[in-house]
Structure 1
Amino acid sequence: MTNVDIFTLIKSRFQSLTNTEKKVAKFVVENKKKVIYMSITDLADACQVGDTSVFRFCRSMDLKGYQEFKISIAHSLTLQDETPQLSSEITMQDTIDELASKILSSTVDALSETRNLINSKDLSKAIDTMINAEKIHFYGVGSSMLTAMEAKNKFMRITNKTECSIDTHLQIMTASLMSKNEVAVIISYSGSTKDTIEIAKVAKERGVPIISITRFAKSPLTNYSDITLISGANEGPLQGGSITAKISQLYLLDVLYVEYFKRTTKESIVNSELTAKSVIEKLL
């Protein structure tokens, strides 16, 4: 499927689509480069249709789902441009100096956008929820799992109530045993990863407060979230695991960490000293 121009395919099958699917098709053809950075819910809202209509449109193109659809768009754009792009700005013709400058610029832009997207009330509410919780569970899948592990590593230095399971089976099992007195911090760039959504669904059924860190304000994940914190980096479908996206997530987690420390100063200072002393002999 990756060798087929998705836009040619859309045009060839346009007349066989339903009216709602035609709305999606028209928007996609007219906004090719914009769509690859949109969530399924964003696209559905833009077309004034439901998420299921977008999914059915993808299936009408013989694709498994929305993510494969975005990958097909990225491949088709590359074929049309005849110049492979590693991101929306970086090309194969860039020198090392140009590459370094562009990556620095995109990273700074992502951090600045994330800062501008911070809602102080939501962030404050997230901190209070984490402080009052008996346990804080960090969840993520794929590259977001690495961010969740970093969050666990960060917070365990000042509190002993953090948890992070690596295996997705263990994640869903821990979610099924959570109580209302605990909190789930779910990290997902797209907010559309099946395993992540299932974890959120199970946690929600248990009455657990859910804090999500994601790129999109509207996504299947945020439908289950009590508090949504938005990161500002754009990541194309061929850029899975983008460091810029991860840096934006880590920036939000660092803000959460410092504010958590401030509000629990006495306990956090004691714990940070204890954890620092525990590993001092491991250092030269």
Structure 2
Amino acid sequence: MAINDNVLIKIRERKDSLTPVERRVAEYILENKEEIPHLSIKNLAMGSRTSDASVLRFCKTMGYSGYRSFIVSISAAMGGKEEPDNGQYTDIQPGDDLQTIISNTARNNIRSIEDTLSLIDREAVDQAVQVLRTCSRIFLFGIGASGLICLDAEQKFTRINKNCHAYLDGHSQLTAATLVSDKDAAIFISNSGGTEEILDALDIVSKTGASTIAITKYGKSELSERADLLLSISTPEVTIRSGAMGSRIAMLTVVDMLFTGVASADYQEVKHYLTRSRNIISSKRRRR
């Protein structure tokens, strides 16, 4: 898949946070993707049972100055064939045979990563890398499955001698948040962007002057609006655990981007830490 700004993925990801009228426009577009590049604004309004003004407001909500630039982006997305298998995630159904489960699980994970590449702000990634390179300490905040992503980040950054710690429950997060200084960086991980404990910790950290980084699903949420830097991921629209797995894979990929960016930029400084940790681990492995 080409790496660019895929408007169809953005529409799918933001659909549920739109106004009811805008949602009708979004749903019509997603259900009739092939026809949209050939429709006038009036025809799209008629098809979606809205008005010309509503369609124009939808285009501006999606970040376009007008209908023409919006249609150009739709055409580019369709021309790049960036929506394989109609761009749909496939949920795991009770009674599916193992081969179907294997195929659908892998396909959902791959698509979640690919779609995240279309959504993520590369400038924000670069800024986050610079913050993590220069900060004194890294604080990681996540609950439940998002906490596992924090532990992965903690393990990675610790390997290159970054003072880094993950906080996985509400009480420890509040305590840790009070200890953050303006020389530190705090990463908040939440798929929904509305986890109460995460937002409470963010409130405290924001008052310290520390840099705040959010890893959350694409679209409007309290976390996405209140963090200094936003790293958006794509989340599958499925009903059971395959959805959580897809968002987890996307979050891990973003963590890998940040870690690799820091390690690459400071390679001469951190390479001996990587070598030492690798040698220690290798020496503990049993020889056959």
Is TM (by shorter chain) over 0.5?
yes
User: Paired residue for 1:218?
Assistant: 220
- Structure 2 CA distance, aligned partners of 1:240 and 1:172? 31
- Name the counterpart of 2:19: 46
Measured after TM superposition, the shift of residue 167 of structure 1 is 3.3
The partner residue of 2:176 within 153, 156, 174 is 174
Distance 1:235 1:274, change over 3 A: farther
Note the C-alpha offset of 1:38. 7.0
1:156 to 155, 158, 161: 158
Instruction: Report the counterpart of residue 230 of structure 2 in structure 1.
Output: 228
Q: Provide the aligned length of Structure 1 versus Structure 2.
A: 209
User: 2 CA distance for matches of 1:113 and 1:38?
Assistant: 10
Structure 2 runs not aligned, ≥5 long: 1-11, 22-88
CA distance in 2, matches of 1:201, 1:237: 31
CA distance in 2, matches of 1:166, 1:123: 23
2 CA distance for matches of 1:271 and 1:199? 31
Deviation of residue 45 (structure 1)?
A: 3.8
Q: Does 1:188 align with 2:190?
A: yes
TM-score (norm 1): 0.67
Q: Sequence identity of aligned pairs in percent?
A: 22
- The answer to whether the aligner puts 1:275 opposite 2:277 as a matched pair is yes
Shift of 1:227: 0.6
Give the aligned residue type for 1:46: T
After superposition, the Cα gap between the structure-2 partners of 1:44 and 1:106, relative to the gap in structure 1 and judged at 3 Å, is: closer
Match of 1:128 in 2: 130
Deviation at 1:160, TM superposition (A): 3.0
The AA in structure 2 aligned to 1:260 is V
Cα distance, 1:192–1:140 mapped onto 2, change above 3 Å = same
TM-aligned CA distance change 1:107 to 1:238, over 3 Å = closer
Alignment-derived partner of residue 197 in structure 1: 199
Measured after TM superposition, the shift of residue 140 of structure 1 is: 0.5
What per-residue deviation string (whole Å, max 9, x for no partner) do you get for residues 210-245 of structure 1?
Answer: 101111331011122111111112255643982221
Deviation at 1:109?
A: 0.9
- How far, CA to CA, are the matches of 2:182 and 2:280 in structure 1? 32
CA distance in 2, matches of 1:282, 1:243: 32
Q: Distance in 1 between matches of 2:255 and 2:139?
A: 14
CA distance in 1, matches of 2:114, 2:148: 22
SS at match of 2:231: strand
Change (3 A) 1:113 1:43: closer
**Unmatched segments (≥5 aa) in structure 1:** 1-36, 49-86
Give the whole-Å Cα distance in 1 for the aligned partners of 2:157 and 2:225. Answer: 26
Partner of 1:146: 148
Cα deviation code 1:237-280 (max 9, x no counterpart) = 64398222111111111111111111111111011122223333
The 8 Å contact of residues 206 and 212 in structure 2, kept in 1 or not, is answered as: yes
Contact 1:235 1:245 survives alignment (8 Å)? no
- Corresponding residue for residue 33 of structure 1: none
Residue 212 of structure 1 aligns to a residue whose secondary structure is: strand
What SS does the corresponding residue of 1:191 show, helix, strand or coil? coil
| Distance change >3 Å, CA 242–CA 216, structure 1 → 2 | same
Conserved? CA contact 2:91–2:239, under 8 Å: no
Question: Where do 1:58-69 residues align within 5 Å?
Answer: none
Alignment of 1:250-261 (within 5 A): 250-261=252-263
Q: Which amino acid is the alignment partner of residue 181 of structure 2?
A: S
SS at match of 1:124: helix
In 2, are the aligned partners of 1:191 and 1:220 still within 8 Å (CA)? yes
Given candidates 237, 244, 247, the residue that maps to 1:245 is 247
Per the normalisation by structure 2, the TM-score is: 0.66
Q: How far apart in 2 are the matches of 1:191 and 1:268?
A: 33
